[in-house]
Amino acid sequence: MLAAAFLSAAACSPIDNPSGETCERAGELSISVSTEEPTRGMITESMLPDGSEMGLGLLDSDGNVYMGKRYEHIYAVAENTEDGQIWKINNTVFLGETEATLYAYYPYSKYSYDIRDISVETNSYEQADFMYGGPYTGLTADNRHVNIHLKHALGAVRVCTRRGSYDGPGAVRSLGVGGNAVTTGGRFDVTQGKFTSYDISGKYKI
């Protein structure tokens, strides 16, 4: 009887449940990451640099808090090994029988607590690119590994100047970029893939 009780307890990992009436079998979330082809953004590799931090958000299938626990301010760190790149999540995320939906964004922002409202600063030297992935639906204890594919949310503007046939050294004193797609920053909703600009001037001086 004692052995049977021990096996029963080991087969059921407790997961937070507001009712406290059930103990669901839980599985730990694991991830791998790839990036979009380098056609638009500043990141030009298929893997992010070693030590990169990526934000994660886990919701239920209706877009609400998953299993009574907020998983909207967690992140994963990239680590290069001899066998390839692995990603370590800073907090253990347990999936139960209830289906979950995962979202991801890069780079991680420690000042953003809502996956629907991530701050993006396009005029910051530290903000080299912004990428996002998801939704990845139907995650459970039996389906707990996600291959996250990050897409570019912003486009990189590259400028080439030329004066006639002259191909010697030169200097550009001022450069302006205009248009309704130009902004210095804004908020990004990862669940919708939607960017809302801080400003509407459409002008940016470099």
Report whether pLDDT(121) > 80: no
Across the range 61-67, mean pLDDT stands at 92
- Give me 136's structure tokens: 């990845």
More confident residue, 11 or 38: 38
161 pLDDT band, cuts 50/70/90, is: confident
- Give me 100's structure tokens: 């979950």
Instruction: Measure CA 29 to chain center.
Output: 15
Report whether pLDDT(63) > 70: yes
Which residue type is seen at 167? D
Instruction: Measure CA 94 to chain center.
Output: 18
Least confident of 87-91, 136-140, 170-174, 175-179: 175-179
Q: Give CA–CA dist 128/43, Å, rounded.
A: 8
Report whether pLDDT(143) > 90: yes
Residue 101: the pLDDT is 97
H or E segment to which residue 31 belongs: strand 30-35
From the CA atom positions of the chain, what is the Rg in Å?
22
Across the range 114-125, mean pLDDT stands at 80
Report whether pLDDT(152) > 90: no
Residue 20: the pLDDT is 46
What are the residues facing 10 on neighbouring strands? Answer: none
Mean pLDDT of the chain: 78
Residue 10: the pLDDT is 35
Task: Say which residues have a Cβ less than 8 Å from residue 80's Cβ, sequence separation at least 6.
Answer: 50
7 — phi, psi (to 5°)? -65, -40
Across the range 167-183, mean pLDDT stands at 72
Q: Give CA–CA dist 133/137, Å, rounded.
A: 12
CB-CB contact of 32 with 145 (8 Å):
yes
153 pLDDT band, cuts 50/70/90, is: confident
Report whether pLDDT(182) > 90: no
Residue 24: the pLDDT is 55
Q: Can you say whether the dihedral through the CA atoms of 65, 117, 143, 70 is positive or negative? A: negative
User: Mind listing the pLDDT tens digit for each residue in 22-55?
Assistant: 455 578 999 999 887 665 555 656 778 899 999 9
CB-CB contact of 36 with 131 (8 Å):
yes
Residue 15: the pLDDT is 46
